[in-house]
A and B are shown apart, each in its own frame.
Chain A
Amino acid sequence: MQQIPRHYIYLLLAGVVVWQLLAPMPLPISPSTATRGLYEAIRAVPEGKLIIISTDWDASTQAETWPQTEAVIHACFQARKRFVIMNMQPPMGVKLANDIALEVGKQYRARYGVDWANWGYKYGYGNVLMAMAKDIAKTIGDDFYGRPVTRLPLMQGVRSIRDIGLVVEVTGLAGVTEYWIGLIQGPYQVPFAAAYTAVMAPGYYPYLDSGQMKGMLVGAKGAAEMEALVRSPGKATTIMNVQSWAHLLIIALIVVGNLGYLLARGRREERRQ
């Protein structure tokens, strides 16, 4: 029981994934307090203020971060809140998020530059945020398409970080949150929320507990919960079915491995006696 060849394990896992993709078993999804926090934070953004969605992720984590970004954008459009996408690392995230916003925007007949915009990739983490806090237009300069952001209608009246109503950071990269909280949320009291991959989320619970973070999406589960809140089941809901059975398979494998280990230990002790 301790020696199942790894090829069989790979096959089993692939089988479970394919089974759930082809014939998903609908399972209940109930939004957690952390997900509700993010949803409510988006709805609470005052008229005239912008939401920044910082998409610091790339294709390696897109199974979780893509549906998270998609669900957050749905929530923004549904609540009629204007938002901007920006990205500090890795640069790929800004293009992927742009594709998502273009696709989701079609459903809401959203117009680029009026309902949403893309500030593009900005190099420099801390110094970008410090400069942005004082003067957004000067710091950002051009948008994703290379045109000056000052020409975008949605930027009218947006000068400094005080004109931002919420920052939502979607990331698979540790360390960016600390910049947002240290340089923007703390000193300027700009509401902050985030969406993380499931593996890194436990590290950020202290910020949620202290109230520095209004809400948090935890992995694909958080995205699926957000999809349930915005009543637009998508990728994450499907992923959660797959992940559910994959988790059960891994737990079963661990139990089988440990049963084998305990039986073998019992036999060894018998022989010794």
Chain B
Amino acid sequence: MREALQSLFLLRQAPNPTALAICLGLALAASVLLLYALHRLLGPRGRRWLIALVTFVGGLFFGLEWFYPARGHPSKNFLTDWIEPVSNMLTVVGAFTVGLGIYSLSQVHGRNVRLRRPGWHNSLAFFIAMVAMFVFGLWEHYLHLREPLPKLVPWPKGIYEILFSGLFAPLQAATFSLLAFYIASAAYRAFRIRTAEAGLMMAAAFVVMLGQVPVGAWLTSAIPAASGWSFFRLEKLGEWVLAWLNTPAQRAITFGVAIGALAMSLRVWLSLERGTFFSEQS
């Protein structure tokens, strides 16, 4: 069984591309059929039970593999060899969610374009961008597989570079960098010393802000680094605030979050969390 699963995922390394394509097509058709059959045969209650069962078995598998004593060299237990095929299955499920996302986005934006809703040209831009990146991304990827590698940079790679490095990356960076302006404006408008605690917070913020940049070290460079007063150099003071005041507070938060996450994980594993797995439908 385990070998069969492993060989299924190793098909991509198969020497015969036709056989690979046929196997992929069959696997896709079988997956669609299985999903359709489950959708038709199971009601909301049945679906909930199926998902709860799969969730429980999945959680049990990873939990047991992790905690069950391992022996030998390399250290293994009876579940260790299953980790790789199960991980591959999770990757495939993840790939399905990407497909689902594309389907859902296409539905929403397709409707906008079809009905000429306000802003429909943005939806059209989405389709053009998605198709362009998809086509040239794949093309570029398969060019890399050619051996020996071509000496000249082929034009699909050039277009891909323009789309990715010339458009996508700078657009994302530019959008995020706008935050600097909002932060400057918000800090000026909202940061007011109304209480003693706010004053303390502002003092700590100033020390850390200046300690994190070279100008802080420059401002207090008159204090000799080897003297007993060197603690008051802004870079040292900033580091002290982060290491001695921030660390225990962060550790306390981490412990609290970890306990909460453990409780939440247990609830999800045992399907006790309300509002999940179609419980609202039933």
Instruction: Give the B-binding residues of A (Cβ under 8 A).
Output: 2, 4, 6, 9-10, 13-14, 27-30, 32-33, 58-63, 92, 95-96, 99, 123-124, 126-128, 130-131, 134-135, 138-139, 141, 145-148, 160, 162, 198, 201-206, 208-209, 218-219, 221, 224, 240-241, 243-251, 253-254, 256-258, 261-262
Q: Taking chain A's interface residues, is the majority helix, strand, or loop, or is none over half, making it mixed?
A: helix
Contacts of B62 in A (CB 8 A): 126-127, 130
Q: Does B273 contact A (CB under 8 A)?
A: no
A2: B residues at CB distance < 8 A: 189
CB pair A206–B247 under 8 Å, yes or no, is yes
B189-227 CB mask vs A (1 if < 8 Å, else 0) is 101110000000010001001101111111001000000
The answer to whether A60 and B95 touch across the interface, beta carbons within 8 angstroms, is: no
Residues A96 and B212 in contact in the complex (CB < 8 Å), given A139-B87, A257-B192: no
**A32 touching B217 by the CB < 8 A rule?**
no
Give Cα A127–Cα B87 distance, bound, in whole angstroms. 6
Closest to A17 in B: B180
Chain B residues with a Cβ under 8 A of chain A: 12-13, 62, 65-66, 74, 76, 80, 83-84, 86-87, 90-91, 94-95, 141-142, 144-145, 164-165, 168-173, 175-177, 180-181, 183-185, 187-189, 191-193, 202, 206, 209-210, 212-218, 221, 235, 239, 242-243, 246-247, 250-251, 253-254
A102 → chain B closest CB, angstroms: 12
Q: What CA separation (Å) do A161 and B169 show in the bound complex?
A: 32
Supply 9 A–B pairs (Cβ within 8 Å), ascending by A: A6-B189, A33-B239, A61-B176, A123-B91, A145-B145, A202-B250, A246-B180, A251-B209, A251-B210
Complex: A63 Cα to B175 Cα, angstroms: 12
A152: min CB distance to chain B, Å: 14
Instruction: Give the residue name and chain of the B residue nearest to A205 (CB).
Output: B247
